[in-house]
Amino acid sequence: MALLLKSAWQGYRYVFEELADPRTSSWFLVAKPYQGLALLGLYLIFVLKWGPEWMKNRHAFNLDKVLIVYNAIQIFLCARLFAGSLLNAWAFHYRWVCEPVDFSNSDHAIQIATYVYTYYLIKILDLLDTVFFVLRKKFNQITFLHVYHHFGMVLLCWGAATYFPGGHGTLIGVINSFVHVVMYGYYLLTVAMPSLKNSMWWKKYITQLQIIQFFWMVVHMGALVFKTDCAYPRWTAAIFLPQNLFMLILFVDFYIKTYVKPKSKKENGAQNGFQNGAQNGVKNEAHNVVHNGQKNGLNDLNEGNGNAKID
């Protein structure tokens, strides 16, 4: 038993201490798995059990002012991260097909690691989206897609901040930060001006933007499969590709169910209504013709009276 515990402890130290990037391993919520897992565990328990039970007999909270501040903070953080990542990495310094991680202690390498850590903290902040749904009793929006996405992003970003804070995989955070600037901008406007909630075309194009995002991520991480001489670890594609493919499929499925199928049903209903109306119109017209013909024939017979002959 003692040998087993010793082996387990050695394995823990190897995975979470020796393999971890020493530059970031001492940062809050990095490297130590129990911290992040405890946070995610509380998140799942609250949004799936404790929160709904606590709100069951309570009125929904009015969080408009809180949401305005929250969305504004998200826009600021994501916009700053997006601009900084472009200027210091992807616009001028990084290669798009293969970019290894710079594990040095240079100012530039530390700056990139800080961006990765900031993105990780933003993904933790994103968990409040679901908490706000619970407090506002918007339980219909707490879908599997929503919870899975938020939960999975925190796990993946923890891994990036712990082991590979920089390099090829960071483009995912850059793209996602831009998408979130647009998304939280929409949320901010709809809270500040509720009339905009009826503008469905906004939500439609934001979903399209998210689909493009995940498709781009699939292509970007898929490049590692074919770039055999890339210094960035190729095995990360085995983690990111299934995740991004799954998210792409879920978002496409959501888009089809939300925007394509209702439209098809509406068009089919209108077509069927037109066809039924046309058919009923033909039937009514035929009925009128027959009825009028019978009436006119009877009048002619009455007018002819005894002049009519039966052959």
- Environment class of residue 189 by beta-carbon count within 10 Å: exposed (0-12), middle (13-18) or buried (19+)? middle
Q: What's at 83, amino acid-wise?
A: A
Q: What is the mean pLDDT of residues 61-86?
A: 96
Instruction: Specify the pLDDT at position 291.
Output: 46
From the list 59, 93, 108, 149, the catalytic residue is 149
Whether residue 245 is predicted with pLDDT greater than 60 in this model: the reply is yes
pLDDT band at 8 (very low <50, low <70, confident <90, very high): confident
Instruction: Specify the pLDDT at position 53.
Output: 95
- Which residues, in sequence order, are CB contacts of 21 under 8 Å at separation 6+? 103, 113, 162, 163, 164, 165
| Domain ranges across the chain | 23-267
- Environment class of residue 24 by beta-carbon count within 10 Å: exposed (0-12), middle (13-18) or buried (19+)? buried
pLDDT band at 268 (very low <50, low <70, confident <90, very high): low
Whole-number percent of the chain with pLDDT over 70 = 83
Q: Which of 300, 203, 211, 296 is nearest to 258 (CA)?
A: 203
CA distances, 6 to each of 3, 15, 32, 135, 217 (Å): 5, 14, 18, 45, 40
The rounded distance, in Å, linking the Cα atoms of 251 and 248 is 5
Whether residue 302 is predicted with pLDDT greater than 60 in this model: the reply is no
Instruction: Specify the pLDDT at position 271.
Output: 55
User: Residues 88-141: pLDDT tens digits?
Assistant: 999 989 998 889 999 999 999 999 999 999 999 999 999 999 999 999 999 999
Whole-number percent of the chain with pLDDT over 90 = 54
Q: Which of 283, 71, 243 is nearest to 157 (CA)?
A: 243
Tell which wins on pLDDT, 1 or 200: 1
CB-CB neighbours of 202 under 10 Å:
16
User: Residues 126-164: pLDDT tens digits?
Assistant: 999 999 999 999 999 998 889 988 999 999 999 999 999
The rounded distance, in Å, linking the Cα atoms of 177 and 92 is 18
User: Residues 171-228: pLDDT tens digits?
Assistant: 999 999 999 999 999 889 989 888 777 766 777 888 899 999 999 999 999 988 888 8
Q: What is the pTM of this model?
A: 0.80
- Which residues, in sequence order, are CB contacts of 202 under 8 Å at separation 6+? 186, 196
Give the helix/strand (H/E) hosting 238.
helix 237-255
Look up residue 308 and give its DSSP letter: -
**Mean of the per-residue pLDDT values for the chain?**
84
Is 149 annotated as catalytic?
Answer: yes
- Which residues, in sequence order, are CB contacts of 166 under 8 Å at separation 6+? 101, 102, 103, 109, 112, 113, 116
